[in-house]
Chains A and B, each alone.
Chain A
Amino acid sequence: MDERLVDSSDRVVSLTETPDMVAHDQPGSRTETNGAPQERTLETRDLRVYYGDFLAIRDVDLDFLSRKITAIIGPSGCGKTTLLRSLNRMNELVPIARTEGHVMFQGQDIYAEHVDPVEVRRRIGMVFQKPNPFPKSIYENIAWGARIHGYKGELDALVEESLKRAALWEEVKDKLDQSGYSLSGGQQQRLCIARAIAVRPEVILMDEPCSALDPVATFRIEELMRELASIYTIVIVTHNMQQAARVSDFTAMMMLGEDKAGEMIEYDETNTIFTRPADPRTEDYVTGRFG
């Protein structure tokens, strides 16, 4: 078990599978509700993150199920980004950040001592709020990650496959040598998604990936997420309730506690959260009555 994060050959998901366009299957296969065991890719246990002395999120226990889209919603400043970044140890890059508790990835704690954060981040990829392509060519944006990880296959094929998967290939196939910045905002964000999937992660974390995009681009990325969900586990932070409802299978609701620390107050199937939430605060928030 211990070697899993260090040895990348132990692949759970193979990208050679063709992504079949899955219809939004009704969530209902959750462990607790259905009894049928569902594979959990990521689990957090008593996860706390501090910035200096400030407790940003408290005791988060969340299960992210394999090949499902989990949305994290909640008011601004409640720690959604913090939670997301602690799932692939990106928070460590903030010097004052400190993480306690556990994040289990396929049964192994990514915060365990011998685990290499570099390997964690390859297997748990990330797409950021603001599109951030490298100031390099479109081709190089995608090939670079594969190259540093010692990709042995045909790079051209990988670039094409990743761009196709990110629904960008048709738009850029004739200008792969142009700068990633020559693309529109929505195209840039899809380039970032293509870049993330090119290193064949198992989980993709997305922090408000559509917040800078127009409705058309947003729609394309949502479509893309549904497609990717057939092979990847996806976690998305969003402020857009419709988006969470449209795209996700499960939804976690976060809220600021009394002492300004973020807490996870409810977690359920997206359907349930939006129709019969257990917590009145959730209901206020998803219906827009929250102050």
Chain B
Amino acid sequence: MNEINPFEGNTRRRRRQGIAWRFVFQASTIVGIIVLTALLYNVINESFGLAALELEIDPASLAVDGVALEELSQEQLAQIFQANVSAGLYRRYATEKPFTERTREEVYDLVQERVIRPQLVKTWTLFETLFERDAIEAELAEKYPGARLQFFSWLNPEFVQRPQSSDPLRAGVRTAILGSLWVIAITVIFAFPIATGAAIYLEEYAPETRLTRLIQTNINSLAGVPSIIYGILGLAIFVRFMQPITSGAVFGLVDDPTTANGRTIIAAGLTLGLLIMPIIIINAQEAIKAVPNSLRNASYGLGATQWETIWSHVLPNSIAGILTGTILAVSRAVGETAPLVVIGASTFITFDPDGPFSKFTTLPIQIFQWTSRPQAEFRNIAAAAIIALLLLLLALNAAAVLLRNRYSHRY
């Protein structure tokens, strides 16, 4: 090689540079995975584990003629109940609903609750359960000699089906899940049509004027406003100003409007609707922008009107993106807590919401409320509720993926 090569032989250095960057990106990914694992570990660790229960009466002692408590008939259970509680308490339950009318399961639950009266005295995490079993048993023998050890999966089918209760053993998230679903339904019904309509207008109709740009800038900034500010807005508009409507009083739906005071599902749904509306608008605009102009040209070239073009071509080809964007925004709304605290979600209700004008609580509110309790057991059910919330979010994301695959087109 006699001729002079004008390029310095630098491939080795360039390759090394590339490898260094690769490590940086790999490290970022690993950090992300670690954080996610820590989160899951934390939640799962609290959701399962041993617990020490103290019982008022050993259920074995309640057996009748060698038949265990679980096997007894409705009448026998009723007799046991009557024999073991005070006369006043028995009368109270009997007037509430005569024992002859109660099912076997109801009476059995009453015996559990009032006669056996299990009390959680201590709970352990899954980690402790698995690896420090000896220490747990030593502690149990020393501090709670009468207690029995039982493994709990705090997340279980009954947990999802039971209403809220002040007893962690009996508390469930049904009230909160139903509340979340009701609120989200209102949110979607309110925000989706308006936001999609606005996106269509801005993308397909609005002239390129300074006013349009101003509106666009505003929408973009609204998407970044902290959610608690939407809570304050919702409190002012939906809870206070529109109280006669949001409490259902004007519709005559609520006998006693003071119970909810406008702090109802509909007020919460509308507030969250405001919160995610700019996000849906922006996502829908992106989806509409992604429809190639060649398609619009083809349609107009055939003599289609603007509306025919939008309805038959722009929307069918952007609906997957619009729906995905909406679902992702809704996922955000499902997890919102702060604005609902501001507008006054109930922290403790035991009855299911029965319509847009009832009081409500939602999953994140419930979790927030449980984690702020001093008793350790509530941390366990809070963790179980977190898993329920995560599953709900996972389901929503899966729906988004399915919709995208179902409706996606290539051009």
Residues of A within 8 A of B (CB): 88, 90, 93, 95, 118-123, 125-128, 130, 132-135, 144-145, 148-149, 181, 192, 195-196, 199
Contact = CB atoms under 8 A, between A and B. Distances in A.
A181 B299 CA distance: 16
A216 B302 CA distance: 27
Contacts of B299: 134
A8 B105 CA distance: 77
29 contacts: A88-B301, A93-B297, A95-B207, A95-B208, A118-B304, A118-B305, A120-B303, A121-B300, A121-B301, A121-B303, A125-B301, A125-B303, A128-B297, A128-B301, A132-B298, A134-B313, A135-B317, A135-B409, A144-B312, A148-B302, A149-B303, A181-B410, A181-B411, A192-B298, A195-B298, A195-B302, A196-B302, A199-B302, A199-B303
B297 A121 contact: no
Q: Which of A118, A122, A132 has the most CB of B within 10 A?
A: A132
A281 to B, nearest CB: 31
Q: Which of A125, A144, A181 has the most CB of B within 10 A?
A: A144
A123 B302 CA distance: 9
A196 B300 CA distance: 11
B117 interface: no
The 4 closest A-B pairs by CB, nearest first: A122-B303, A126-B301, A132-B294, A145-B302
A24 to B, nearest CB: 27
Contact of B295 (A90, A132, A199): A132
B296 interface: yes
B139 interface: no
Nearest to B317: A135
Contacts of A181: 410-411
A192 B297 CA distance: 12
A144 B411 CA distance: 17
B289 to A, nearest CB: 15
A145 B312 CA distance: 11
A135 B298 CA distance: 11
Given A118-B305, A135-B317, A128 B300 contact: no
B304 A148 contact: yes
A145 B313 contact: no
B167 interface: no
A122 B298 CA distance: 12
Interface string B85-103: 0000000000000000000
Interface residues of B, number: 23
Nearest to A96: B208
Contacts of B308: 148
B405 to A, nearest CB: 15
Nearest to A140: B312
B298 A118 contact: no
B297 A122 contact: no
Contacts of B304: 118, 145, 148
A214 to B, nearest CB: 21
Contacts of B301: 88, 90, 121, 125-128, 196
Interface string B353-396: 00000000000000000000000000000000000000000000
Given A95-B208, A118-B303, A118-B305, A132 B409 contact: no
Interface of B: 207-208, 292, 294-305, 308, 312-313, 316-317, 409-411
Nearest to B298: A132
Contacts of A126: 297, 301
Contacts of A128: 294, 297-298, 301
Contacts of B295: 132, 134-135
B294 A145 contact: no
A130 B294 contact: yes
A121 B301 CA distance: 6
Contacts of A196: 301-302
A144 B308 CA distance: 10
Contacts of A121: 300-303
A99 to B, nearest CB: 16
Contacts of A119: 303
A150 to B, nearest CB: 11
A79 to B, nearest CB: 18
A212 B302 CA distance: 21
Nearest to B308: A148
Contacts of B302: 121-122, 125, 144-145, 148, 195-196, 199
A93 B409 CA distance: 24
A121 B304 CA distance: 8
Q: Which of B294, B298, B301, B317 has the most CB of A within 10 A?
A: B301
Contact of A135 (B207, B300, B303, B411): B411
Nearest to A146: B302
A123 B208 CA distance: 30
Q: Which of A128, A134, A195 has the most CB of B within 10 A?
A: A134
A192 B317 CA distance: 19
Nearest to B313: A134
Contacts of A123: 303
A144 B316 CA distance: 14
A195 B409 CA distance: 20
A172 B134 CA distance: 76
Contacts of A90: 297, 300-301
Nearest to A205: B301
Nearest to B299: A134
A126 B410 CA distance: 23
Contacts of B300: 90, 93, 121
A128 B296 CA distance: 12
Nearest to A201: B303
A127 B302 CA distance: 9
Nearest to B292: A132
Given A90-B297, A95-B207, A145 B303 contact: yes
Q: Which of B207, B304, B313, B409 has the most CB of A within 10 A?
A: B304
Q: Which of B292, B297, B317 has the most CB of A within 10 A?
A: B297
Contacts of A125: 301-303
Contacts of B207: 95
Given A121-B302, A192-B298, 8 more contacts: A95-B207, A118-B303, A121-B301, A125-B302, A125-B303, A126-B297, A149-B303, A199-B303
